[in-house]
Amino acid sequence: MIEHLLRTPIPSLAEDVLWAIGYITDGANEDIDFVMTFQGQELVNKLIQICMSGRTDLETPVTRILGNLVTSTDETTDLVIKSNGLK
């Protein structure tokens, strides 16, 4: 569902979806784990894709999400690192 919402032709909707994920992942590790259970690898890949896309309007919420993820469990941090999320 997140992938579908991020492919919207409405730029503000994609930004709102990312900010919502950012706020959810700004909580306890359990909150991040909940988000990551829904195809976490695909979510991280999509976030990195967005970072490299040149969409400056989405860079801040994506950076926040990736920052939240790397402060979580070691497994989540490793997932982001292995996906080149810290470049």
The structural domains of the chain, with segments of one domain joined by +, span 2-82
Phi/psi at 59 (5° precision): -65, -45
Tally of residues, the chain? 87
The CATH architecture assigned to 2-82 reads: Alpha Horseshoe (1.25)
pLDDT band at residue 1 under the 50/70/90 scheme = low
Q: Which two tokens stand for residue 64?
A: 């926040």
Mean pLDDT across 59-84 = 91
Mean pLDDT across 70-81 = 91
**14 half-sphere exposure, CB direction, 13 A CA radius:** 18
Q: Higher-confidence residue: 38 or 16?
A: 16
Model confidence pLDDT, tens digit, residues 28-61:
988 898 888 877 888 899 899 888 888 888 999 9
